[in-house]
Chain A
Amino acid sequence: MSGAAGPGRAPLPCAARAAAALQLPGGAEAARPGVAVIDLRFPRGGAADVHEIVFKNFYTAFLSVRVQRAGPPGPRRWVTCLRDHRLMPSPHTEEGSQDYFSLRRHQMLCDMEQVTALRFILRQPSPAWLHFSIEELQVFPPAQKSPQKDFPSWLSQLTPPEQPASPHGELPDPEKVSTEVQQMWVLTEVIRARQAAARIGRFDVDGCYDVNLLSYT
């Protein structure tokens, strides 16, 4: 259920109620109204800043989002932050019907700080689809500044220059060796950073394509 989060981002924990279809008073049986509502609240009545909402569409054509914000005590109002956002360009056809979408802060009409509840109003005017909903709903807070990477510890440890007793001279000069080792290290880093995408191998047969060896069951 989890999508790939950006670096340093984790989705906010929240509880989403399943989509409830609009019902006319007088409770008739299943007429398909084409409007459904999903309510989302943060646990323990908490509030959070919302930066991005990510979800997977399932045949919803239009989406409106309203938020309830923590504020002065009293009856809380719902504020519309997204009005009739089109998810499917042509509601009778498949385009966009199962795609992943992101709603970002700059697309919202109102402030998204200290949000206590989110309400997603889904509309699907085409009668061609049996069900519609949105899935894998995730809410992300604004990204924190990434912390300074720690330097590898060995870089910061400066070894004191020792003067070992010089051997007979059979061993190579340590200065030369260390510069050469450093060059080799730089080369390996460069090679590791540039993995070649070009194919250098050909397909190897060595008997592994023989019919008698292969089986499917």
Chain B
Amino acid sequence: MLDPDSGLSLTIARIVRRLQGSSLHSQLERQARVSLHKPEIKLESLKEDIKDFLKTSGWEKKLQNAVYSELNVFPSPCHPAAPPEHMKEPLAYMRKAQRPASEQKELLNKWNEMGTDEPDLSLFRPVYAPKDFLEVLMNLRNPNYENGEQPSFRNHLGLIQVPLKVKDIPELKEDFSELGLNTGQLGIDDSAQVPPEFFENEHVRVGQKVLAEQDSAAAQQYVRQGCPTALRADLWALILNISNQPEDILYYEQLKSNVIQYDLLVDSLIYKDVKLTASNDDYYFVFEDYLYQVLLCFSRDTSVLEHFTYSSATPPKSYIRGKLGIEEYAVFYPPNGVIPFHGFSMYVAPLCFLYHEPSKLYQIFREMYVRFFFRLHSISSHPSGIVSLCLLFETLLQTHLPQLFYHLREIGAQPLRISFKWMVRAFSGYLATDQLLLLWDRILGYNSLEILAVLAAAVFAFRAVNLMEVTSLAAAEAVLADLSTLKVMPLLQIFLFATVT
């Protein structure tokens, strides 16, 4: 491990390098140059005066937000001896379990099958569905781990057999302390029976102040208790450091023109996915056009490739025919390196309620993807990765509802089989939209996806009585089929803070 000093200087060097070429840097320079005309800037104390000017005019805040955003997104620097793939994923057997080879072969088979003239959508199968992904995760094994034949403490009773470190309830209580019983929450303390003077009015006032200050870190802390609906769009943009500058709008327009001019095979996958999922959903079918606009541009956006530096996955590469292996003829296919799976459009759909301008909606979605959603469909040992979330869910259920877990296992209904699809989609399409947005508030606030696993366990705890009476997987799925009436925050509070352990 690095000792604190060299770790800090490495982090500082990396952030400086990343911010140096950005548009924020040139804007700061321009502002500093403009400020030279002001009377209060004196030549003798030039540096301090300019620094003070930048502080009062709000530019220092923007720089702080940018630095904070970099710290949130990129992992802490590794040991200098570690090769780059170690930084993406330290465990060797997880690196080897990546999907790209099988995905590419599957796409190739489809290319050979279909005609190239017009995309007959019936010939397209989605590349993979969450069920297939769960099969891959179930078969992950550490070759150095003793998975003996005899049942022992090493064989996990659930589906995931990888011994990752997951938190238990005391640790989760500490991490999610703002969700405690003594703290006000939106989602609980803003219901009709509670007079708004107790919590809601004050919370909204604090939110407006945070927005006025334009401070990302304060916004992230604020959002942990929930976001008022009126302020949510701006607060999320502040946390994700999206400012919708003219160059961002221009970038989006360029992507749009690329969509109009050029055709990509992945477009058909996107069309099919939107038609199958979002268009059939009662809440989201109105946003079908927005979804196409965002997703078609997303698949052409090469800046998404940057997130592969800290993701454990690698983007699939393809070569011009006949030039296999020659790097100049290699392209990433699709251009953003992300192959959409069945249900991918549900990541975008809830955001359509918040943002109506396509370019801002696009940027928010892109930033949410490269910060959070990519972890839900790639194999890694990160604590917010899907493998850890599954193991956390199973461990929580086993520890706190052992009878239910045993019963479900006995009837052949492993709990993860039911909750996996919830977690992979971050509950989008399963919860009511207002509840979903409250949940995503907490994902942004805590900068981690662990709350998805906790919510999944809480749902099982809530329906435990019914689940104890079922006798088959289909019946268990029927009990848990409809989550649209659930209220997210009370469930989380009860499970974390009010259950007798």
Q: Which residues of A contact B (CB under 8 A)?
A: 3-4, 6, 54, 56, 58-59, 89-90, 92-95, 97-102, 104, 127-131, 136, 138, 194-199, 202-203, 205, 208-209, 211-217
The answer, among B18, B23, B91, B116, for a CB contact under 8 Å with A98, is B91
Assess A213 versus B21: contact at CB under 8 Å? Given A3-B80, A54-B81.
no
Q: Could you tell me the distance between the alpha carbons of A58 and B335 in the complex, rounded to whole angstroms?
A: 37
Q: Which one of B45-53, B251-259, B366-374, B452-460 contacts A? A: B251-259
- Is the CB of B164 closer than 8 A to any CB of chain A? yes
Q: Are B80 and A209 in contact (CB under 8 A)?
A: no
The answer, among B2, B20, B165, B255, for a CB contact under 8 Å with A202, is B255
Q: How far is the CB of B296 from chain A (nearest CB, A)?
A: 13
Q: Hey, which chain B residues are within 8 Å of A127, CB to CB? A: 146, 154
The closest CB in chain A to the CB of B306 belongs to A199
Q: Hey, which chain B residues are within 8 Å of A99, CB to CB? A: 1, 79, 82, 90
The answer, among B1, B111, B164, B333, for a CB contact under 8 Å with A102, is B1
Q: Are B163 and A194 in contact (CB under 8 A)?
A: no
The closest CB in chain A to the CB of B332 belongs to A203
- Is the CB of B407 closer than 8 A to any CB of chain A? no
Main secondary structure of the interface of B (DSSP, over half): loop
**Which 9 A-B pairs rank lowest in CB-CB distance, beginning with the nearest?**
A3-B81, A196-B21, A197-B21, A100-B79, A93-B165, A215-B321, A203-B302, A100-B82, A214-B318
- Is the CB of B399 closer than 8 A to any CB of chain A? no
Q: Are B162 and A197 in contact (CB under 8 A)?
A: no
Please tell me the number of chain B residues within 8 Å of chain A, measured between CB atoms. 56
List, sorted by A's number, 26 A–B pairs whose CB atoms are closer than 8 Å. A3-B81, A90-B165, A93-B165, A94-B163, A97-B91, A98-B91, A99-B79, A99-B90, A100-B81, A102-B2, A128-B145, A130-B143, A195-B21, A196-B20, A197-B22, A202-B251, A202-B254, A202-B302, A203-B302, A203-B335, A208-B331, A209-B262, A211-B111, A215-B318, A215-B322, A215-B324
Q: Hey, which chain B residues are within 8 Å of A94, CB to CB? A: 91, 142, 162-165, 381
The closest CB in chain A to the CB of B19 belongs to A197
Q: How far is the CB of B261 from chain A (nearest CB, A)?
A: 8
Q: Are B146 and A203 in contact (CB under 8 A)?
A: no
Q: How far is the CB of A168 from chain B (nearest CB, A)?
A: 43
Q: How far is the CB of B188 from chain A (nearest CB, A)?
A: 34
Q: Hey, which chain A residues are within 8 Å of B481, CB to CB? A: none
Assess A198 versus B22: contact at CB under 8 Å? Given A94-B142, A95-B165, A203-B335.
yes
Q: Are A217 and B108 in contact (CB under 8 A)?
A: yes
The closest CB in chain A to the CB of B94 belongs to A94
The closest CB in chain A to the CB of B162 belongs to A94
Q: How far is the CB of B255 from chain A (nearest CB, A)?
A: 7
Q: Could you tell me the distance between the alpha carbons of A191 and B21 in the complex, rounded to whole angstroms?
A: 11
Q: Are A203 and B163 in contact (CB under 8 A)?
A: no
Q: Mark B287-310, 1 if CB is under 8 A from A, else 0.
A: 000000000000011110000000
Find residues 1-45 in chain B having any chain A CB closer than 8 Å to their own CB.
1-3, 17-23
Q: Hey, which chain B residues are within 8 Å of A58, CB to CB? A: 144
Q: Could you tell me the distance between the alpha carbons of A215 and B321 in the complex, rounded to whole angstroms?
A: 5
Q: Could you tell me the distance between the alpha carbons of A53 and B335 in the complex, rounded to whole angstroms?
A: 43
Q: Could you tell me the distance between the alpha carbons of A104 and B80 in the complex, rounded to whole angstroms?
A: 14
- Is the CB of B78 closer than 8 A to any CB of chain A? yes
Q: Are A128 and B91 in contact (CB under 8 A)?
A: no
The closest CB in chain A to the CB of B317 belongs to A216
Query: Which of A54, A58, A92, A215 gathers the greatest number of chain B CB atoms within 10 Å?
Result: A215
